[in-house]
């Protein structure tokens, strides 16, 4: 079975110039953990995920601290979030994108998703976005097929 | 080519490559050591017996202990608690953070101290919206200074203590009081370079720091109690280790093993945090220096020093101090100290000197020299790299502008101290 039979044929995506705030709104409305970033011809040029945005909102020292629980408030996070809200997606997106051709087998796709710990992968036909694949797409189909 | 010449070339090449840091220092030291064996300057038996396992054991024991204790959050707790004493005055903050860094660094290795303290400093500075550079630089200098105070504070001291049979208390009595004075003077000196930053008013933002709850930094209270108990016990045994007839490595390894026993942490996990690369760097260097010593280079160098200083103890001590301080601003202080130990031993054998002032000069020079440039000590590089990840670049020149005067002043003060206490 090819992944085009199990993917979500959803073309929701953003452009590189979309403000982060907009991308977050779409993610939250569509309940997606990430969005493919496409150019005018629907070619996938990157991906922006919840974790890219969260990382950008965290104050710089956060990663260096062994245990940040002694910091009481959310101030630094909110300030940083406000700062980046209007910046374009291209400043935070991952440009080395793992994408899958729609004719890829499920085994190959599963291998990529699990080995690289990916939660969302754009599915493409000749570089153009045709859908997305998540680990649950694969699991759901595997559980339901006869 | 005769063996002496080959050994000299290998030795100088090692010193240069270790300082350039283009190739991993451990690989260089091990390559040098093996070259000495392959070229038959040393046989395998001689090479293996040249390794000072007292130094290796002490380092390993301390690395295991620190890797367990740092999980408890104790050091962060202390850093936050002491920072709050500043009550919104940036200079006080700089002062207290530098002092706690120096004190912690006298019982922990300098790099670990910096890794634990700098992130908390960044959190405080970002909440106060002030530059973290003066504080972090002062902490780096304090870590190098504080490490000088004890046998276990900095690798050169571990090497010197083991080679000269100087005990934990010898270091405390002879170096700690002077180091404490240097530590107290340091923040005042750093302030001269950052007057503007020190006079900022942060009274309003200080409330955010006051809200930091240091108790939440303690991650495992049960482990904390056990660790403190065993750590204090270990320090107590360190104080009496010579009277008890125990080598420092035995004390550290007993402490480490006890801590592994009571903490119930998988040793495999703890051993992952032991810096094997550093330990093998030491091993390689011990072998290299044994080779250099065997062909007579060390003998030649010590004779030269005696001739130049006309067999005068004061001149020899001051020469060792200044040459060490300046050399260790540019070359790695571990390789330098391991090279100098047999030189000092030789000076002692040829002359009738009481060598103690010379050992203290070597320790002060090698440890304090670490402040001269940012390549001089591992703690400097680690601290500067943490700042770099935050987008705050400290150039070689900027570090040098403050580091060099601090190094020079501390060496001048050390000269006065050594002269007044041992030589006059």
Q: Does A75 touch chain B (CB under 8 A)?
A: yes
Q: What is the pLDDT of residue A141?
A: 86
In chain A, positions 83-122, which contact chain B (CB-CB < 8 Å)? none
Cβ separation of A67 and B219 shorter than 8 Å? yes
Q: Does B81 touch chain A (CB under 8 A)?
A: no
Q: What is the pLDDT of residue A20?
A: 96
**Stretch B29-51: mean pLDDT:** 95
H helical segments located in A31-74 = 50-57
Closest CA to A6 of A138, A122, A145: A138
In sequence order, the 6+-apart residues with CB closer than 8 A to the CB of A16 are A37, A39, A45, A46, A88, A89, A90, A93
How far apart CA B339 and CA B343 sit, in angstroms, is 7
Chain B residues within 8 A of A65 when measuring between CB atoms: 76, 119-120, 123
How far apart CA B248 and CA B242 sit, in angstroms, is 8
Q: What does DSSP say about strands A34-38 and A128-133: parallel, antiparallel, or unpaired? A: unpaired
Q: Does A74 touch chain B (CB under 8 A)?
A: no
Give how far A60 is from chain B: nearest CA, Å: 6
Closest CA to B63 of B256, B263, B335: B256
State which residue of chain B sits closest to A63, comparing Cα positions.
B119
Cβ separation of A61 and B214 shorter than 8 Å? no
How far apart CA B346 and CA B340 sit, in angstroms, is 10
- Model confidence at B1, pLDDT cuts 50, 70, 90, reads low
In chain B, positions 148-207, which contact chain A (CB-CB < 8 Å)? none
Cβ separation of A66 and B208 shorter than 8 Å? no
Gyration radius of chain B over CA positions = 22
Q: What is the pLDDT of residue A65?
A: 83
Cβ separation of A64 and B389 shorter than 8 Å? yes
Closest CA to B407 of B377, B369, B365: B369
In chain B, positions 351-390, which contact chain A (CB-CB < 8 Å)? 386, 389-390
More confident residue, A69 or B87: B87
Chain B residues within 8 A of A76 when measuring between CB atoms: 126-127
pLDDT surpasses 90 at B421? yes
In percent, the amount of chain B with pLDDT more than 70 equals 100
pLDDT digits (tens, 9 = 90+) for B228-284: 999 999 999 999 998 899 999 999 999 999 999 999 889 999 999 898 998 999 999
In chain B, positions 209-238, which contact chain A (CB-CB < 8 Å)? 211-217, 219
Closest CA to B325 of B178, B144, B112: B144
- Model confidence at B331, pLDDT cuts 50, 70, 90, reads confident
Neighbours of A137 (CB within 10 A): 22
pLDDT surpasses 80 at B19? no
Best mutation site among B126, B211, B382 for testing chain A: the one with the most A CBs within 10 Å?
B126
Q: Exposed (0-12), middle (13-18) or buried (19+): which is B28, by Cβ within 10 Å?
A: buried
Chain A residues within 8 A of B219 when measuring between CB atoms: 67
Give me the interface pTM, i.e. the ipTM.
Answer: 0.71
State which residue of chain B sits closest to A77, comparing Cα positions.
B127
Q: What is the pLDDT of residue B298?
A: 85
Count of A–B CB contacts within 8 Å? 56
| C-alpha count within 13 angstroms, C-beta hemisphere, residue B18 | 30
Cβ separation of B120 and A76 shorter than 8 Å? no
pLDDT digits (tens, 9 = 90+) for B370-395: 999 888 888 998 899 899 888 888 88
Question: Of A66, A70, A76, which is closest to B126 when you measure between CB atoms?
Answer: A76
Cβ separation of A73 and B208 shorter than 8 Å? yes
Give how far B273 is from chain A: nearest CA, Å: 15
**Stretch B306-327: mean pLDDT:** 91
In this predicted structure, which of A74-78, B88-92, B300-304, B407-411 has the lowest mean pLDDT? A74-78
Chain A residues within 8 A of B217 when measuring between CB atoms: 67, 69-70
More confident residue, B283 or B303: B283
**Stretch B316-328: mean pLDDT:** 94
């Amino acid at each position: 079975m090819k992944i085009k039979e199990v993917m979500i044929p959803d073309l929701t995506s953003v452009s590189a110039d979309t403000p982060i705030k907009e991308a977050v709104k779409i993610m939250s409305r569509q309940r997606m953990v990430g969005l493919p970033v496409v150019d005018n011809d629907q070619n996938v040029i990157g991906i922006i995920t919840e974790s890219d945005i969260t990382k950008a909102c965290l104050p710089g020292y956060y990663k260096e601290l062994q245990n940040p629980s002694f910091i009481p408030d959310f101030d630094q996070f909110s300030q940083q979030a406000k700062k980046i809200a209007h910046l374009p997606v291209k400043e935070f997106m991952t440009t080395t994108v793992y994408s899958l051709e729609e004719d890829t087998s499920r085994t190959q796709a599963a291998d990529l998703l699990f080995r690289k710990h990916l939660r969302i992968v754009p599915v493409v036909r000749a570089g153009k976005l045709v859908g997305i694949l998540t680990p649950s797409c694969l699991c759901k189909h595997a559980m339901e097929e006869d | 080519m005769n063996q002496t010449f080959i050994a000299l070339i290998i030795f100088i090449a090692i010193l240069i490559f270790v300082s350039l840091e283009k190739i991993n220092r451990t690989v260089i030291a091990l390559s040098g050591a093996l070259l000495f064996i392959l070229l038959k300057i040393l046989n395998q038996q001689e090479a293996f017996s040249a390794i000072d396992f007292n130094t290796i054991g002490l380092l390993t024991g301390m690395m295991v202990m620190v890797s367990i204790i740092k999980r408890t959050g104790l050091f962060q707790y202390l850093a936050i608690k002491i920072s709050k004493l500043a009550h919104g005055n940036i200079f006080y903050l700089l002062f207290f953070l530098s002092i706690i860094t120096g004190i912690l660094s006298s019982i922990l290795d300098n790099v670990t101290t910096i890794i634990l303290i700098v992130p908390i400093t960044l959190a405080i500075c970002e909440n106060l919206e002030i530059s973290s550079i003066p504080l972090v630089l002062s902490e780096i200098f304090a870590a190098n200074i504080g490490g000088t105070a004890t046998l276990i504070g900095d690798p050169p001291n571990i090497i010197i203590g083991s080679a000269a049979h100087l005990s934990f208390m010898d270091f405390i009595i002879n170096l700690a009081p002077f180091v404490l004075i240097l530590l107290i003077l340091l923040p005042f000196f750093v302030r001269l370079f950052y007057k503007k930053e020190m006079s900022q008013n942060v009274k309003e933002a200080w409330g955010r720091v006051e809200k930091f709850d240091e108790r939440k930094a303690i991650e495992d209270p049960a482990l904390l109690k056990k660790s403190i108990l065993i750590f204090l016990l270990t320090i107590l045994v360190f104080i009496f280790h010579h009277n008890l007839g125990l080598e420092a490595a035995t004390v550290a390894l007993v402490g480490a093993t006890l801590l592994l026993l009571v903490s119930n942490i998988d040793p495999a996990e703890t051993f992952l945090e032991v810096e094997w690369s550093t330990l093998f760097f030491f091993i390689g260097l011990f072998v290299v220096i044994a080779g250099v010593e065997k062909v007579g280079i060390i003998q030649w160098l010590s004779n030269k020093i005696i001739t130049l200083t006309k067999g005068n103890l004061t001149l020899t001590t001051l020469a060792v101090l200044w040459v060490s301080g300046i050399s260790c601003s540019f070359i790695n202080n571990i390789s330098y100290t391991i090279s100098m130990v047999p030189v000092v031993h030789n000076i002692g054998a040829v002359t009738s000197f009481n060598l103690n002032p010379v050992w203290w000069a070597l320790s002060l020079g090698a440890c304090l020299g670490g402040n001269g440039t940012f390549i001089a000590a591992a703690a400097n590089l680690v601290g500067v790299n943490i700042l770099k990840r935050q987008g705050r670049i400290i150039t070689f020149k900027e570090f040098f502008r403050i580091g060099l005067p601090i190094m020079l002043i501390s060496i001048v003060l050390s000269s006065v101290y050594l002269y007044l206490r041992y030589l006059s």
